[in-house]
Amino acid sequence: MTTTTERPLPDVGRHKEEARHIGAGVFSPRQLLVSFPDALRKLDPRHQLRNPVMFVVWVGSVLSTVFAIGDPSTFTILVTVWLWFTVLFANLAEAVAEGRGKAQAETLRRTKKETMARRLLPDGTEESVPGVALAVGDLVVVEAGQVIPGDGDVVEGIATVDESAITGESAPVIRESGGDFSSVTGGTTVLSDRIVVRISTRPGESFVDRMIALVEGAQRQKTPNEIALTILLSTLTIIFLLAVVSLQPIARYSGGVQSVIVLTALLVCLIPTTIGALLSAIGIAGMDRLVQRNVLATSGRAVEAAGDVSTLLLDKTGTITFGNRRATELIPIEGTSPDTLKAAARLASIADTTPEGRSVLELCGGPVEVVEPHEFVPFTAQSRMSGVDIGDRHIRKGAASAFPSTDESARIVAEISAGGGTPLVVAENEKVLGVIRLSDVVKPAMRERFAELRRMGIRTVMITGDNPLTAKAIAQESGVDDYLAEARPEDKMALIREEQEGGRLVAMTGDGTNDAPALAQSDVGVAMNSGTSAAKEAGNMVDLDSDPTKLIEIVEIGKQLLITRGALTTFSVANDLAKYFAILPAMFAGIFPQLDRLNIMNLHSPSSAIVSAVVFNALVIIGLIPLALRGVRYRPTTATALLRRNLLVYGLGGVVTPFAGIWLIDLVVRLVPGM
Q: Which residues are annotated as a binding site for Mg(2+)?
A: 511, 515
Q: How far is CA 315 from the centre of its chain?
A: 18
Residue whose C-alpha is closest to residue 98's, from 218, 18, 205: 218
Q: How many CA atoms lie within 13 A of 373 on its CB side?
A: 2
Instruction: Report residue 309: phi and psi, to 5°.
Output: -60, 135
Burial label for 261, CB within 10 Å (0-12, 13-18, 19+), is buried
Q: Work out the burial of residue 335: count CB atoms within 10 Å of its CB; fewer than 13 is exposed, 13-18 middle, 19 or more buried.
A: exposed
* Whether 315 is catalytic: yes
How far apart (Å, rounded) are the C-alpha atoms in residues 608 and 602?
A: 11
Three-class secondary structure of residue 157 per DSSP: strand
Say how far apart CA 381 and CA 397 lie, in whole Å: 13
Query: Which DSSP symbol is given to 136?
Result: T
Which residues are known binding-site members for ATP? 352, 356, 379-386, 397
User: Strand 385-390 and strand 393-398: pairing?
Assistant: antiparallel
Q: Quick check: helix, strand or coil at residue 20?
A: coil
- Quick one: which of 608, 614, 627, 654 has its CA closest to 86? 614
Burial of 273 (0-12, 13-18, 19+ CB in 10 A): buried
Q: How far apart are CA 471 and CA 411, in angstroms?
A: 18
CA distance 312 to 305: 12
End-to-end CA distance of the chain: 78
Q: Which of 568, 657, 585 shows the shortest CA–CA distance to 616?
A: 657
What Å distances lie between residue 221 and 285, 302, 546, CA to CA?
14, 11, 26
Helices 52-70 and 260-270: angle between axes, nearest 10 degrees: 160
Instruction: Select which of 138, 153, 209, 315 is catalytic.
Output: 315
H or E stretch covering 154:
strand 152-162
607-619 core/surface letters (b: 16 or more CB in 10 A; e: else): bbbbbbbbbbbbb
Q: What angle do CA 414, 419, 423 make, to 5 degrees?
A: 50
* The dihedral formed by the CA atoms of 308, 313, 316 and 319, expressed in degrees to the nearest 10: -30
What residues are annotated to the active site? 315
